[in-house]
Structure 1
Amino acid sequence: MRYYADVADLKLSALGHLECRPVSPGYLCYIPPEVPDNRIGVVVVELDIEHQQAVLVGFAKTVKAGELLFSELQTIEDLLAYLDSLESNPTEVKLSYWLQNIIDAGWQPIEKILASKTPQLAFRYRNGVTRGKLIDMGIELPGRSLALVVTLTPKNSVEIQLKLQVHPSDEQAYLPNNLIVKVLDEKGTTVIEAHARSGSTHVTLEFNAQIGEHFSVNLELGNTNISEKFVI
Structure 2
Amino acid sequence: MATISTFTGPISTVARRLAEKWSREQATPEKSQQVLLNTLSVSFVNFYLECMEFETDLEASDSWNLVKQTLMDVADLLITNLGKLECRPVLENAQFVYVPPKVQSNRIGYVVVEISESFQSAKLLGFVKEVSIDNFPINQLQPLENFLNYLEFLELQTTKFKSQKLDSSNQNLVSSSQNLDSSSQNVANLKRWLENIFESSWSTIESIFLTEPAWQFRSTEKGLKNSVERAKLIDFGIKANRESVGIVVKVSHDESNFDDMKIIVELHPTNGQEYLPSSLHVMILDEEETAVMEAKAKNDNKKISLEFNAAVGDNFSVKIVLGDVSVIENFLI
TM above 0.5:
yes
- The answer for the alignment partner of 1:110 in structure 2 is 205
Deviations 1:18-40 (A, max 9, x none): xxxxxxxxxxxxxxxxxxxxxxx
Deviations 1:29-79 (A, max 9, x none): xxxxxxxxxxxxxxxxxxxxxxxxxxxxxxxxxxxxxxxxxxxxxxxxx98
Q: Measure the CA separation in 2 of the matches of 1:128 and 1:101.
A: 10
2:233 aligned residue (127, 134, 144): 134
- The answer for the alignment partner of 1:180 in structure 2 is 281
- The answer for the alignment partner of 2:192 in structure 1 is 97
Which residue type is aligned with residue 197 of structure 2? I
The alignment partner of 2:213 has SS state of helix
1:35-74 → structure 2 map (5 Å cutoff):
none
Deviations 1:103-138 (A, max 9, x none): 111111101101222245254368710100011111
Where is the strand percentage greater, Structure 1 or Structure 2? 1
Which residue type is aligned with residue 193 of structure 1? E
Seen in structure 2, the aligned counterparts of structure 1 residues 90 and 109 have a Cα distance that, compared at 3 Å, is closer
Q: Which has the larger radius of gyration?
A: 2
Work out whether residues 249 and 265 of structure 2, in 8 Å CA contact, stay in contact via their aligned partners in 1. yes
Kindly state the Cα deviation for residue 170 of structure 1 after the two structures are TM-superposed.
3.1
Work out whether residues 184 and 217 of structure 1, in 8 Å CA contact, stay in contact via their aligned partners in 2. yes
Which residue type is aligned with residue 101 of structure 1? N
| TM-score normalized with structure 2 length | 0.42
Kindly state the Cα deviation for residue 171 of structure 1 after the two structures are TM-superposed.
2.6
The alignment partner of 1:153 has SS state of strand
Seen in structure 2, the aligned counterparts of structure 1 residues 123 and 82 have a Cα distance that, compared at 3 Å, is closer
Seen in structure 2, the aligned counterparts of structure 1 residues 150 and 202 have a Cα distance that, compared at 3 Å, is same
Seen in structure 2, the aligned counterparts of structure 1 residues 123 and 91 have a Cα distance that, compared at 3 Å, is closer
Seen in structure 2, the aligned counterparts of structure 1 residues 122 and 226 have a Cα distance that, compared at 3 Å, is closer
Seen in structure 2, the aligned counterparts of structure 1 residues 83 and 144 have a Cα distance that, compared at 3 Å, is farther
2:219 aligned residue (98, 113, 124): 124
Work out whether residues 185 and 201 of structure 2, in 8 Å CA contact, stay in contact via their aligned partners in 1. no
- The answer for the alignment partner of 1:148 in structure 2 is 247
Kindly state the Cα deviation for residue 204 of structure 1 after the two structures are TM-superposed.
0.4
1:206 aligned residue (307, 313, 324): 307
Q: Measure the CA separation in 2 of the matches of 1:131 and 1:122.
A: 11
Work out whether residues 130 and 149 of structure 1, in 8 Å CA contact, stay in contact via their aligned partners in 2. yes
Q: Measure the CA separation in 1 of the matches of 2:192 and 2:246.
A: 21
The alignment partner of 1:173 has SS state of coil
Kindly state the Cα deviation for residue 197 of structure 1 after the two structures are TM-superposed.
1.0
- The answer for the alignment partner of 2:113 in structure 1 is none
Where is the helix percentage greater, Structure 1 or Structure 2? 2
Kindly state the Cα deviation for residue 215 of structure 1 after the two structures are TM-superposed.
0.4
Q: Measure the CA separation in 1 of the matches of 2:320 and 2:190.
A: 19
Work out whether residues 179 and 195 of structure 1, in 8 Å CA contact, stay in contact via their aligned partners in 2. yes
Kindly state the Cα deviation for residue 81 of structure 1 after the two structures are TM-superposed.
7.7
Seen in structure 2, the aligned counterparts of structure 1 residues 226 and 86 have a Cα distance that, compared at 3 Å, is farther
| Identity across the alignment (%) | 34
Work out whether residues 178 and 196 of structure 1, in 8 Å CA contact, stay in contact via their aligned partners in 2. yes
Aligned length: 155
| TM-score normalized with structure 1 length | 0.59
- The answer for the alignment partner of 2:295 in structure 1 is 194
The alignment partner of 2:310 has SS state of strand
